[in-house]
Structure 1
Amino acid sequence: ETFTCTATGEFQGTAPACEPSPCATLGLDSSDGYSHDCSGNVNGDSCIVACADGFSAPNGTSAAAILECGASGYTGSMPTCEPTPCSSVSLPTGLDLEVNCTGLTTGESCMVSCAQGYSGAAANFTCTSLGDFSGQRPICTPQTCDDLVQGLLEGVTHDCSGVRFGSKCGTSCAAGHSLAANSALTELHCLWDAAVGQVTLQGASPVCEPDPCVDNFPSGESFQHDCAGVTTTGVCTVQCAPGYEGSSPQNLSCAASGVLEGDTPNCTARTCAARHLPGMQQGICQDLSFGDSCFTTCEDGYDASSGVQQWTCDLLPGGGGSVELQGSDPDCQPLPCLDNSPVSAQFQDNCAGVTTGSSCDVVCTSDYVGSPSNLTCGADRAFYGSLPVCQPRSDFPVPEVEDANVSNMSNATLIQEEEFVLNLTDFVLNLTDTIEVRGLLSLNVTDAEAFMNDPEALAALKDGLAAAIKVNPAYLTVTVSLTPFTVGNANSRRLASESSALYISYTVIMKKSEAAGLEANPPSATAFEAAISAAIVSKGGSLASKYSVSVMSATVFSISVVDDGNQFSGGGGGAVPDPWSCPPPPPAADAADIGMDGPAVWGAGIDPGWASLEDRSAAAAEWRTHVALERK
């Protein structure tokens, strides 16, 4: 600015506006190894320049310095910052890797690749400011050696298919060859072959010699040959022996399996005509040639009391060259049927003593109605056919409902149990020792009455029970009862039954060996529930959406053995006695105290023993299905 000296002796003018000049920005950043706060400084300001992360000052020097911003820029000594070396500890390791990252410092990079004998893409690793390496480990897989092995001798094979680098495999003699006396089996190794730049199988070869053929030599009086001593890949000749006629000589070759392969000449001998007898197994003694023999046996379901007989195709006496089967005839007698006899209170039959190939009739008893059927005794000594579908007679008397403990129930109604008896079985067992297992279940079912009247739902119920018990549904008899109750006043015994409850009684006929497992480990309520639910779902359609089933209780009550008409009963799995049979009476001194009066005393919490199935009262039903309070 200009100032003028006036007449008054004073300068006149405007003073200039002066500001401190800024210093130029330092051209330094972390990649140069520095960090600073010198941005925007002006004349007279100071700032600090230090070594950035990943950089450090040499020993004995400072890692930071103060710079002054002057008229000509920054003044001061910059610190010396050197990149920090990275530790190799953070690098990946392994025999499958090739790592060349030694001596790298902050910001420098290297490649980690797969080692020789391995395949995979290389990966980049960078030395970070933290002093470690950052990168993704390569995925390296061992290379596979080619199956072709150079230098193996004839007759030598190996199991080296798919062998990978670093692995080994063994040699062996090929089929039809054996190891030579002075040789030994060797191992082949899948190794890197620098000459070809890939992995190869490497190792010595054993010596294997061909084996002599041992099987399928031409046999019989119709042939003669020179095949003795022929070895693998060798050839011999076979021709018809004297006394037989046929085609020209044929060559046979010794295969690696030790079997002579090829067609023998067609040398024809006389053939015996077949003999057919009642009950004798057919197809055994047909097309026998002169000199051949066979053993006659009876068909299944027949017994040869005279034992097996040998027949021989031999010359007829008197000469002439004719032949016939000669030998004693087997005495084949039909055997009585043993299995699948109709065993049920619903049936009566005339099947006792029926033998193989014969039939018997099965009809419903007087308490049931249904069409008769016919069973046939098969060769396996089991009856086959469909059993009658027997339904209870409509005029069959049903006991009245009783419950001595519900005398004061106001507005309480006990509805007579409705019963639906499933089609019992298609087949049941009738063995010398018959195992009969019985049990009860109580179910909670969505719309129980509809379920009980739904044939498809009942079929699923039966399939589920059979699956839980692990038996064929054909051997299972199921009875379903629907018993809705109305709860009385507070002074009456509470009834656990509801309109959604179904009561299931089942009987299964099975073998002793099968019943033993059931007795030792009877299915739980959970197992029954899972099996029944799965059977409902397997039926498909809308059945699964209509019904939801939960099992409240399940008990195998009885396992009974029928042996020559004498029945012995015991608790299933050692749990509870048989509810179908009366328990032995208690000692006289205790009988009065226990009070064996049946349902009349159940409300008082006294355990009277097992109720008869003839008792159809609400209390008895609850006791049998394990929902009675006294059972808890």
Structure 2
Amino acid sequence: MHIPVLQGIPSGLGVDAATCVGLYNGETCTAGCVAPFEGGPVNLTCNPLSGQLEGPVLECKEKVCEVAQLPSNYSTADCAAWSQILRPAEATRVRTGRLFSAHENGMFDFCPDLADGTFAGTLPSCERTPCMPGETCEITCALGFEGSASTYSCDMAGGFTGTPPSCSPKRCDVPAEFFGSVRYNTSCDGVRHGQSCMTKCNQGYSGLPTQQRCFNGIFSGVPPSCSGNPCSFEGFQLGKGVNASTCFGLVTRETCTLSCLRGHTIEGNDLVLTCQASGEFTATDAVCVPAQCGDLTLVSPFSSPSVDDSCYDGNVNKQFGEVCFAFCAPGYSLDSNATLLMCEEAPESSAGFKEMAGAATHDAEMSSGPTCTPKPCVRGIPNMRGTSSDCLGKRTGEACTISADLGFDLFGSPSLQCQVDGSFTQDLPTVSPAVCPTPNYESSVGSTCDNKTVGADCWAYCNPGFEGRPKPYQCRVNETAAAVQIEQMEDTINCTNISLGTETNDTNDTNVTGGRRLQTLDPCGIASVAQVGLDGIAYFHDCTGKVHDGVCIAHCAQGWNMTEPEPSIFVCKSGFLVGALLPTCIPLPCSYAFPDALGVRHDCLGVRSAETCQATCTE
């Protein structure tokens, strides 16, 4: 749609803007000054948004003829009087001086040139005419100038003498209406006779500038017509709930008052905004604060631990108009839809919330809330040797108890609780197997059954001087007696004395005088054990500390299975263990306390005694 230009067409004395009339959106024109004015030309464009011509300001000034162009030895009073206002095509005259005579009355016409503002004409032919001694004349300032007059006297030589008057251009006073105007400003302060200045619209106002010309102490010209520019809210931060409808369409220096929407209260200073010259509204710290809703968890049915919600964000509750959801808390499955809530003007008993059930709404306290079912715990179920529990099948929030089996002792809290992540994550109690009392064997019998714990194997064997086959025993739980004890796994050991009437001499010493010892009686220590390989973790023995000729036994430690039917029997000879081979021990697989926490994976299945496995967190 084309909009014809309505504003901004240059006007004023000497302005030619004929081509700018009747333009439409986006069209351009050229405005200039007619003779005898100078200025321009300027190119202007029609703004499609405002219908106003925009572009540089056109200033047209009249051409003047300067008296300084005329010869200095002629009387140019007529020219001086009119030089500041003389226009082309107007004539002035150059006369002969007081002491000169000329043809044709000694007066010739000079006319300003139409093109460049210079005087044109023929100078008069003057002859010197002496003045009469004693005659005087008074020299005054020309029109538009001010200063004290000066008197000249004719001396005896027929020439005038005297001091020229001191003349300065008159200063024009700025009109009162130009002072204090908020719409326009002027550069006319201090302008003097013959000078021009401009009056322009201030920032925030639109309109063409006007020219003011100082003549004989008085300005001629009119003030510009300046209208206020509209203000925009572009980039202006309006708080939530603020109503600024009365501010639209305001122009420079106009004001409006903000208000608050329903559900909001005012805080800060006043809400009055002023349209500034910059096109922006004044800032204000007054804001409309939305009302805050209360704690939804205090409203039934949302107070249940199975229900969670998004109605509380950090340290701030929801504000008026904001929405949130009530849903099942971690560890619970949602058996219905989540509940949509809005912070509204609901009663305090509903914490200010209303349930949004389709097109219908009702206070939160009337809602049935989401239906949530606790999930079963599937991680961290206790799997410790010597214990039992009722943890299998427990669901979120439920507790279970670990109890020690007969023959085991429990240290620490036996209670666990199913956590929201589906696991039992509390620290497990410590379980220790009970220690069986050491059996009272006859002096002919030695054993490895001291301090054995439930499930550990041991062997009884015949001491030196006795013979008999070693027998296996085990620390077991006797449920009938409700106690733990070492029990035989086969028949009872039977050791026969074979040392009666037999004397032995293992010393093989020489005679007392100067003899040397052929065989020592050193006991067997740690080095002796390591020498035959019994220091390995798979073996259990009682060989450390055996005296010379002492008998000891070696079998597989708990967690290893011995393939031979009987353990190895060693004799300590002078600090060395002799008489048998090491037993063959096969490691048993681990079957308790696998790492089963939430988010953990491992390669521990099938790992055997003394082997290692790795547990890592899943991604």
- TM-score normalised per structure 2: 0.30
Q: Which has the higher contact order (CA 8 A, sep 6+)?
A: 1
Radius of gyration: which is bigger?
2
Query: Comparing both structures, which one devotes a greater share of its residues to helix?
Result: 1
